[in-house]
Amino acid sequence: MTITFLILAALTIAGMAAAMGLRNLIHCVLALTLGFVGLASLYLHLGAEFAGFVQILVYIGGVAILAVFAIMTTQSAEPVAHRRSAPFWLAGTLVAAGVFSVLAWAITRSGAHGRGLPPSPQIAAEQVGFALMRAYVLPLELMGLLLTVALIGAVVVATPGKKGEL
């Protein structure tokens, strides 16, 4: 566990926790962007350069912008006047804490604890391209089809219908 990992992990956790905890939704998305940057840096730190850049492109460039558009379109940036009820909030946090403790217990008891550090794999973008075009060409095409269908579906769902319809 290096100091780089600790800094990046702290950045990611702080960003994600702020994204889930702040009251103003625009602030939430800004904090979320910080968390995504931390996560992409962790991918880079692990040597997965391609996944790190995909994370930046898709999440920061796509999902975060989309969320900001949705917030501004629905005018829900201002926090609601009434506070959420305390037991509800407490129940969600308790369930999440329970899930985390079970996961942490499983991880510390598993064989992953004593694993040594293998040599860093050298993965060039060229190899990723070859893998995508050879071994993973069918999943790649299916992913393109899925994206097309999802984008058309999103447009159809969000388009206002005639009066009286959705």
Partner 1 sequence: MSPLSSYLLLSALLFSIGLAGALSRRSAILVLIGIELMLNAANLNFIAFWRYGPRPEALTGVMFAVFSITVAAAEAAVGLGLILAMYRHSKSTDLDKMTSMRG
Interaction between residue 133 and partner 1 (CB under 8 A) = no
Helix 25-45 crosses helix 64-74 at what angle (to 10 degrees)? 170
CB of 28 to partner 1, least distance (A): 6
**What burial class does residue 128 get, using C-beta atoms within 10 Å of its C-beta: 0-12 exposed, 13-18 middle, 19+ buried?**
middle
| Binder of partner 1 out of 20, 30, 34, 60 (CB under 8 A) | 20
Interaction between residue 4 and partner 1 (CB under 8 A) = no
Give the contact letters, 29-48, x = binds to partner 1 (CB under 8 A), - = no. Answer: x--x--xx--x--xx--xxx
Interaction between residue 91 and partner 1 (CB under 8 A) = yes
CB of 149 to partner 1, least distance (A): 8
**What burial class does residue 68 get, using C-beta atoms within 10 Å of its C-beta: 0-12 exposed, 13-18 middle, 19+ buried?**
middle
Interaction between residue 125 and partner 1 (CB under 8 A) = no
Number of residues that bind partner 1 (CB under 8 A): 82
| Binder of partner 1 out of 7, 100, 141, 162 (CB under 8 A) | 100
| Binder of partner 1 out of 4, 7, 17, 133 (CB under 8 A) | 17
Question: Which of positions 48-87 make contact with partner 1 (CB under 8 A)?
Answer: 48, 50-51, 54-55, 58-59, 62-63, 66-67, 69-71, 73-74, 76, 80, 84
